Structure 1
Amino acid sequence: MEKSLTAYKVIIQLSNNEVLVQKATIGQLNNILNAFEKISVEVVMNGLGIDLVLQESPFTNILEVQHQKGIQFTVCRNTLNQKNLTASNFLPFVTIVPSALAHIIIKQHEGWSYIKAGS
């Protein structure tokens, strides 16, 4: 695929903590970054998906590199509340939104494309 000068925007929802799904998602993020010169990418995690960005994540180094390349990682406060977690449980570059689903709805309304990771 040719790199485009158009700025694209994609929001990816991850709600799965299976290692193979996490690895596939990380690979897909790299593929997206390689395919476009200008793209905004946000991974929104809720439910079991939040495990990807916990402090003890086995993918910390690669996630940090992806964040440095512009990928935003966001978790759902509703999920944190259900699991009795706080921001300190997560990698330092993770953002928290009140509701992952509401956040996705807003992003789609703003013209972001939506991808469900692991489907």
Structure 2
Amino acid sequence: MDVIFHIDESSKWPVVFGNIKNYLKTAQDQNVSGQVELLINGDPIVQAKAGSDIALSELTALGIEVAVCNNAMRSHAITAADLQPGLTVVPAGVFELAKRQHEGFAYIKP
């Protein structure tokens, strides 16, 4: 089962990490495989920067693709060089969500 998690509110970081952790545990317990992606757009893009207190390496180390919206980066004056290692820049977060849903990904937004 493929799933995309979406965060666009900075206050939701604890919830999204909890949701992903719970999803991964249950998927493992039920022997369900598939791709897992986290899309970051809007204000949480600031926490995708290197040196942030939000350690996205915890997710990428688990094989989760962490995608960041280029439009949000531009609006917050963030460049790819500013990001934590291992993140994928996508042209537009809304397009990434639509594309993944069209590909059959389940959409989860805490």
**TM value normalised by structure 2:** 0.88
Q: 1:43 aligns with which of 38, 43, 51?
A: 38
Q: 1:94 aligns with which of 73, 80, 87?
A: 87
Q: Distance in 1 between matches of 2:46 and 2:14?
A: 13
Q: 2:66 aligns with which of 61, 69, 73?
A: 73
User: Secondary structure of 1:23's match?
Assistant: helix
Aligned to 2:54: 59
Q: 1:113 aligns with which of 103, 106, 110?
A: 106
1:72-102 Cα offsets, whole Å, 9 max, x none, are: 1111011111122101111111110000001
Q: 1:47/1:90 Cα in 2 relative to 1: closer, same or farther (>3 Å)?
A: same
1:5-64 Cα offsets, whole Å, 9 max, x none, are: xxx11111110112xx2012111111111111313111111111213322122132xx31
CA-based RMSD of the aligned residues comes to: 1.3
Return 5+ residue gaps in structure 1 as ranges: 1-7
Say which is worse superposed, 43-52 or 104-113, in terms of deviation. Answer: 43-52
Aligned to 2:15: 24
User: Secondary structure of 1:73's match?
Assistant: strand
Letter matched to residue 44 of structure 2: G
Aligned to 1:5: none
Q: Distance in 2 between matches of 1:101 and 1:64?
A: 23
Q: Distance in 1 between matches of 2:104 and 2:61?
A: 24
Deviation at 1:69, TM superposition (A): 1.2
In the comparison of the two structures, how many residue pairs are matched? Answer: 106
Preserved contact between residue 22 and residue 52 of structure 1 (Cα < 8 Å):
no
